[in-house]
Amino acid sequence: MGGTVIETESEKLIRRGKAQEIIEMGQEFGLDDTAILKRMQEKIGLSLETASVYLERYGKQFVRR
């Protein structure tokens, strides 16, 4: 049986939050963008394209001290 998988708004928000955490922690530990993208793909099942969008959007917000 085929069909379309429907993602709820709350599921989108949870996925976005997980991506932000992976990006922030990856940057704190000095991982390069490639490693961060790979982690987002493996840990939360994002496509490379979606992971790249999140990295572009949220990777710039992190400020190192």
- Listed by start position, the domains of the chain span 9-58
Q: Give whole-number Cα distances, 2 to 5, 6, 23, 35, in Å.
A: 9, 13, 34, 34
Give pLDDT tens digits for 3-55: 777 889 999 999 999 999 999 999 999 999 999 999 999 999 999 999 999 99
Please tell me whether residue 56 adopts helix, strand or coil conformation.
Answer: helix
Q: Are the C-beta atoms of residues 55 and 37 closer than 8 Å to each other?
A: yes
Q: Are the C-beta atoms of residues 55 and 36 closer than 8 Å to each other?
A: yes
Residue 14 has a pLDDT of 94
User: Token pair for residue 59?
Assistant: 């990777």
Write the DSSP symbol of residue 60: T
User: Token pair for residue 48?
Assistant: 């490379």
